[in-house]
Amino acid sequence: MRQQSGALPLPTGTFIVDNTGVAAARNENMSALTFSAGDGEVRPTRTTAQNAFVTFSSLASRSTGAVGIFDNVGGTLGT
């Protein structure tokens, strides 16, 4: 398990957590998520039998015009 220090500003682009080649479930614990401009996407990708989890400490208010997209590949989105 790894902790990202500081907030994760997500301007236009994609943040991907991929579990390719892992032997156990992958858990990513992140600080605050901020959608700051354009279309920002968070995409956990499950490509093996192991799960991929991404947890943010909070979701900051998004900037005007920013779009937050939560996508999922190969699994089920949680809350």
Domain ranges of the chain: 2-18+25-60
> The tokens 């979701």 sit on which residue?
59
Is pTM beyond 0.85 here? no
Q: What is the C-alpha to C-alpha distance for residues 23 and 27, in angstroms, rounded to an integer?
A: 12
Which ranges of the chain would DSSP assign to H, the alpha helix? none
* 8-42 confidence digits (pLDDT tens): 666 677 877 777 777 877 777 888 888 888 888 88
